[in-house]
Amino acid sequence: MSIFLAIDTLTPRKQKWSFDRFRRTKSENDVAYRPNASADPELEPSNTIKNPYRSYISCLEQTHTILGSRLLNLKLSEPGEFINMILWTLCNSLQESVPLYLSSHEIWMPLLEIIIDLFNFRQDYFIEHEIARNISKSLFIQRLSESPLATFFESLNTRNFANRFSEYVFINCNYRAPSENYATPVHPVYNGENTIVETYIHRFKYSPLYKSQKSLALRRKLIGSCFKLLLRVPDGRRLITPRIIADDVIQGISRTLASFNDILQFKKFFMTENLSQESYFIPLLAEGTLSEIFKDTQECVVILTLVESLSDGVSFCSEVIDLVGLKCFTFTEQSKRISYEESILITEKCDVCLLVLLRYLLHLVDVETITGTTENLRMLRTIKENDSDRRQWVKLLELENDPPLLYPTVSKMFDVHREKNIGGYV
């Protein structure tokens, strides 16, 4: 119960929760680091925890500081501090600076993961026990707009939620920022987090791969909480607050992912160990990202329905055949106007998105219903021919580098799933 009470104090209140957007200034960088934590204001009685349960004795009401530092839930409930903590954590999760990275890795990344989990648990409890059964859709929307996740995302305090959310969740990632870029100010949650003593011995060297994997998984988890909220919105309805529209969020995130310059970060965002847990948003983002890339690289309009076909392997294979036939996964005429490196990057991102969708297809349907069908064999053959076109393109450029190939991975994915099915019958 203390945990839910603490989470409720983090839930933003309209009159005091705002992330001061007027401090944002135009800059080539997307982050403006401030050296010191914000000063702790005097606590008002209304800001402290109020225990609504007479039979429950809360330890959180007894003290406001520990070892001279304000309690975490009280610190983060101050105006703008919760959002700053999230941005501070995400910014530093990819940092090369040892003090800044350790601040994120050792303290705030584990804490933020726990806090997100607690918000999700609190949301589940709210939906199950605090919303009356058999109420009208309009009343349900009103109550849903008052739920923990709704009020949490309302703390972004912006009319353009989709773009701002995408900007925040991918802060400090390597992607092509809009032409008019604004620096978001962040500061330490507590003083001294951005420095370490001179006698400190750094025992581990964290690789870029490790940093990307941990950082992008946390960002993905935050995005998942947003879609968890949107999943409850009835068809044809919108939340009252915050004004979040699922299609806008998908497009905003997909547009940012499509502009990633770091293929390692891009891959780690889509790398998930538990497919079922994130099946309600990762396929949508993979298809959305693919669509955004095609807008920039294809001369004709390409309409994707791959997510709709995830329950039908034959239809999925047919659509892939059409897309490969349209040269969506090979080097196009546009490749002659951009560098080889950029062409490779675009191709790799397209491949990753397709492989993500194919992975979900094989997770959702029985592979035996696909393997051996005319469409499956044609898809594999078409992808193999497409790889040959890539090799030919590189050869014409007289380059020694091998292009990224799609067929070996796709064929291996089918082989692995066939072996799993055979093993299951032994």
pLDDT digits (tens, 9 = 90+) for 145-163: 999 999 889 877 667 888 8
Domain with 296, as residue range(s), is 290-425
Confidence of residue 424 (pLDDT cuts 50, 70, 90): very low
Q: Same domain, yes or no, for 202 and 300?
A: no
Q: Which pTM was predicted?
A: 0.88
* One domain for residues 107 and 177: yes
Q: Is-contact 323 371, C-beta < 8 A?
A: no
233 and 365 in a single domain? The answer is no
Res. 19: pLDDT tops 50: no
Please check whether residues 300 and 230 belong to one and the same domain: no
pLDDT-based confidence at 402, cuts 50/70/90?
A: confident
pLDDT of residue 201: 74
- Residue 220 domain flag: yes
Residue 124 confidence (pLDDT) above 70: yes
331: tokens are 């080097």
> Within a domain: residue 183?
yes
Q: What is the pLDDT of residue 223?
A: 97
The residue out of 253, 281, 315 marking a domain boundary is 253
Q: Which of 48-52, 133-137, 260-264 has the lowest mean pLDDT?
A: 48-52
User: Is there a domain that residue 282 lies in?
Assistant: no
pLDDT band at 1, cuts 50/70/90?
low
Higher pLDDT, residue 367 or 20: 367
Q: Is 299 exposed, middle or buried (0-12, 13-18, 19+ CB in 10 A)?
A: exposed
User: Is 349 among the domain residues?
Assistant: yes
pLDDT at residue 304, as a whole number: 95
Tokens read off for 181: 């870029």
Instruction: Name the residue type at position 275.
Output: L
Q: What is the pLDDT of residue 383?
A: 96
Asked if residue 239 is part of any domain, the answer here is: yes
Total domains in the chain come to 2
pLDDT at residue 91, rounded to an integer: 95
| Dihedral, 252, 258, 263, 267 alpha carbons, nearest 10 | 60
The mean pLDDT of 76-92, rounded to a whole number, is 89
Confidence band for 398, pLDDT divided at 50, 70 and 90? confident
Could you say which of 253, 273, 300 is where a domain stops? 253
Tell me if 250 sits within 8 A of 285, measured CB to CB: yes
Of 250-254, 326-330, 336-340, the range with the highest mean pLDDT is 250-254
Q: Is residue 258 part of a domain?
A: no
How confident is the model over 2-21, as a mean pLDDT? Answer: 54
Residue 348 has pLDDT above 70, yes or no: yes
Q: Note whether 296 and 247 are same-domain residues.
A: no
- Mean pLDDT score of the chain: 84
Both tokens assigned to 355: 């492989």
- Does pLDDT of 8 surpass 80? no
> Which residue is associated with the tokens 């910014």?
91
Structure-token pair, residue 205: 């060297």
264 in a structural domain: no
- Split at pLDDT 50, 70, 90, the class of 32 is confident
Alpha carbons within 13 angstroms on the beta-carbon side of residue 153 total: 33
Per-residue burial over 5-19, b = 16 or more CB atoms within 10 Å of its CB, e = otherwise:
bbbbbbbbeeeebbb
Residue 385 CA to residue 381 CA, distance in Å, equals 6
* Mean pLDDT, range 318-337, rounded to an integer: 82
Q: Is residue 138 part of a domain?
A: yes
In this predicted structure, the answer to whether residue 359 has a pLDDT above a threshold of 90 is yes
Whether residue 299 sits in one domain with residue 216: no
Strands 182-186 and 25-26, how do they pair? Answer: antiparallel
Q: Assess whether pLDDT exceeds 50 at residue 324.
A: yes
Do 13 and 71 lie in one domain? The reply is: yes
Residue 212 and residue 337 share a domain: no
DSSP-H helix ranges across 135-207: 137-144, 148-154, 161-169
Say which residue, 220 or 24, is predicted with more confidence: 220
Q: What confidence score (pLDDT) does residue 328 get?
A: 87
Q: Looking at the structure, tell me whether residues 15 and 95 fall in a common domain.
A: yes
Let me know whether 248 and 380 are in one domain. no
pLDDT confidence of residue 345: 94
- DSSP label of 179: S
Last residue of a domain, one of 204, 225, 253: 253
Q: For residue range 152-207, what is the model confidence (pLDDT) as tens digits? A: 898 776 678 888 899 999 999 999 877 666 778 899 998 888 887 777 777 788 99
Q: What would the two tokens of residue 228 be?
A: 């968890």
Collapsing DSSP to helix, strand or coil, 66 comes out as strand
Query: What is the per-residue pLDDT for 109?
Result: 97
- pLDDT of 422 strictly over 70: no
Kindly give the residue spans of alpha helices, DSSP state H, lying in 55-97. 72-76, 81-92
Assess contact for 200 and 101: CB atoms under 8 A: no
CA distance 37 to 186: 9
Looking at the chain, how many residues does it have?
426
Each residue's pLDDT tens digit, 53-83: 555 555 555 566 655 567 777 788 788 888 9
Does residue 196 share a domain with residue 52? yes
pLDDT at 89: 96
Top pLDDT among 116 and 30 is at 116
Q: What is the tens place of the pLDDT at every residue in 128-143?
A: 999 988 899 999 999 9
Output the CA–CA distances (angstroms, integers) from residue 162 to 59, 208, 231, 246, 352, in the order listed. Answer: 39, 28, 16, 9, 23
At residue 197, the pLDDT reads 73
Amino acid at 284: L
Beta bridge partners of 260: 175
Residues 315 and 394 in one domain: yes
Task: Evaluate whether 167 touches 175 at the Cβ level (below 8 Å).
Answer: no
Question: What pLDDT was estimated at residue 18?
Answer: 46
Q: Would strands 182-186 and 31-33 be described as parallel, antiparallel, or unpaired?
A: parallel
